[in-house]
Amino acid sequence: MHDKKKILASLFPKAVLQAMTPEALAAMPAVLQATGMASMVAFPFRVGRESRVVMINNTLHRVERPTLKGSVPNNDIYLLDAGEKLQISREHFLIEQDATGYVLTDRGSHCGLTVAGRRVGAGVGLMSVPLRDGDLIAVGTADSQYVFAFITDFENTHW
């Protein structure tokens, strides 16, 4: 007999990151750009910069990541940073779920983040913050255009 709750929990997202700016949408992998959302079904959910790129006609393009048997990627979603000054670090942040909700942690990024108006990481002393439904996350410096909304319904994520 199959464990229906376990199967459903593995299929449905517990939370999503929704692109809130054109730059955030363009940074997402092409397969996610139709909805502008990255689904989180497992934690920790890790986000970082796509470093496998090529320049074609003055535009950055992703290079297909090889899938090596037994290897685990450093990130669950790779964002393309097309700016002159990079905002997104290769291993920028992660989101975890615990008994009280969700927590965002800076992974030692160079530029940090702004979460619901609070600076996190990049030498400000605050490395983790709780996340609430609707919080805006700006990846990079305070003026970064890579802005995402954290969306969840925590009450319905415990099967």
Domain ranges of the chain: 4-156
Task: Work out the percent of the chain whose per-residue pLDDT is above 90.
Answer: 54
Q: Provide CATH code, domain 4-156.
A: 2.60.200.20
Of residues 155 and 142, the one with the higher pLDDT is 142
Alpha helices in the chain (DSSP H): 4-11, 22-27, 30-33
Of residues 138 and 54, the one with the higher pLDDT is 138
Q: What pLDDT, on a 0 to 100 scale, did the predictor assign at position 157? A: 45
Q: What pLDDT, on a 0 to 100 scale, did the predictor assign at position 158? A: 44
Average pLDDT estimate for 64-91: 79
Sorting pLDDT into bands at 50, 70 and 90, what band is 148? very high
